[in-house]
Amino acid sequence: MPVPSRASITAVHGYVPPDLLTNADLARMVDTTDAWITERTGIKERHILKGEGLGTSHMGAEAVRGLLAKTNTRPEEIDLLICATTTPDMQFPSTANLICDMVGINNIGSFDVQAACSGFLYSLTIASQFIATGTAKKVIVVGADKMSSIMDYQDRATCVIFGDGAGAVLLEPNNQGYGIMDALIRSDGSGSIHLHQKAGGSRMPASADTVAKRLHYVHQEGAAVYKFAIAKMAEVSGEIMTRNNLRGDQIDWLVPHQANKRIIESTAERMGLSMDKVMVTIHKYGNTTNATIPLCLWDYEPQLKAGNKMVFAAFGGGFTWAGVYVQWAYDGAKAAQLAPKLSGNAGHA
C-alpha cells in the first residue's frame, strides 16, 4: 500500500535582533541579580527588537526571507502562510498579512493564530491539514513575538523571562514516511486568571486610565503557571508517546517550549529522556513565546538527521498546551550550511 502523504518540515530559519539585554543589564533596572535569574529560569541573556516602528512582522519577515533563500523557493510558490503570535503589530490587519507583503508573497491565504506560547504547535497542526488534504503544496508557519512590547520593566518577576525573536518552517508533502505523525492541542480557559494581559482588548479598551494603571503588560502568577506547565507539558508528551507506541529510548529529540529551564528538565525526566536529547536555547534567547520551538530547530538543525523521532511540547497562557510527534525529513547539516546564522547567535552553547 502507498504511504499516505504527510506534511513534513523541509526547512527552518530563524531571526533574533542584534541588541542584547543581559542579566547584568536587568540588575541595573530592577531589584535582581544574575544569580537569581539564572537559578530560577536558566536565562543569561535575551534579544530585544529596538527601532521606531519595528514590530513582530519585521522579525517574522526576516525569518521567512532566510527560509526562502536557503531553499531557493520563489515567493509565488507559497500556497499559505500562518503566523503564530501573541504580539501582533496591530489588531488588524494580521501580522501574517504584513509578513507576506514584506517578502513579496501575494494572493494567498494568510492569517494569525493566537494560542499564547502554544501557538506555533497549533499552527503546525492546522498547516498539516492543508498539506494532507492536497489543498496546499508549500506552507510556511511562522512563530514570532516582540515580547518586549508588553513587558513591564519595573516587574522583576516577568521582565527577566521574555525576549524577542522569530522562526519559520517550510512544510511540504512527504510520502517516504517522514513528517508530522501525530498532534494534540488542548486548552483550559479557567487558567486565564493566572496569565493574561488585562487591557487593550474589547473587554477593556485602551484609555489614559489603563495606561496609567500599567494594565497593558503581561500579568503572571508564577507559582500557578509553573505548576500547571510542568503537569501539562509532561502529560501531553506522555500521551503522544502512548498513542504512537514510543518509549523514551526511541525518541531522538525533545523540542520543548523554552519557558523555564526547570520546566524543561522536569518534562524530560518524566519522559525518561536524558538532557543530551533535549533542545535548550533558553539561556541565550529567553522565552520568545511562539518563536521558541522554531528557534530551537534552527539552532540544532546541523545535528538533525532524516528519520529522527522528535516530540515537540508547549504550554501557554490561557491555558493552552500542545504536543506534536515528528519524524524529521532531512539531514540538517547540509541545509544549515546554505544559510549561515547571524554572528554570535549560532550553535548550542
CB atoms < 10 A from the CB of 120, how many? Answer: 35
DSSP-derived secondary structure letter, 162: B
Number of residues in the chain: 349
Within 10 angstroms of residue 250's Cβ, the number of other Cβ atoms is 10
- At 95, which amino acid appears? T
Pairing of strands 164-174, 6-15: antiparallel
Catalytic residue among 260, 287, 308, 345: 287
Based on the number of CB atoms within 10 Å of its own CB, is 2 exposed (0-12), middle (13-18) or buried (19 or more)? exposed
Pairing of strands 109-113, 80-84: parallel
- The residue assigned the cell 513591564 is 152
Please indicate whether residue 117 is annotated as part of the active site. yes
Neighbours of 29 (CB within 10 A): 13
CA-CA distance, 339 to 13, in Å (whole number)? 8
Measured between its terminal Cα atoms, the distance across the chain in Å is 44
Give 275's contacts (C-beta < 8 A, 6+ positions apart). 265, 268
Let me know if 287 is a catalytic residue.
yes
Q: How many CB atoms lie within 10 A of CB 3?
A: 11
Report residue 152 as a C-alpha cell. 513591564
DSSP state letters, 19-63:
-EEEHHHHHTTSS--HHHHHHHH---EEE---STT--HHHHHHHH
Run of H or E residues at 345:
none
Active-site entry in 83, 117, 159, 296: 117
Q: In whole angstroms, give the CA distance from residue 349 to residue 284.
A: 8
* Catalytic-labelled residue, pool 83, 100, 257, 345: 257
Q: Residue 345 and residue 241: Cα distance in Å, rounded? A: 32
Question: What are the residue numbers of the active site?
Answer: 117, 257, 287
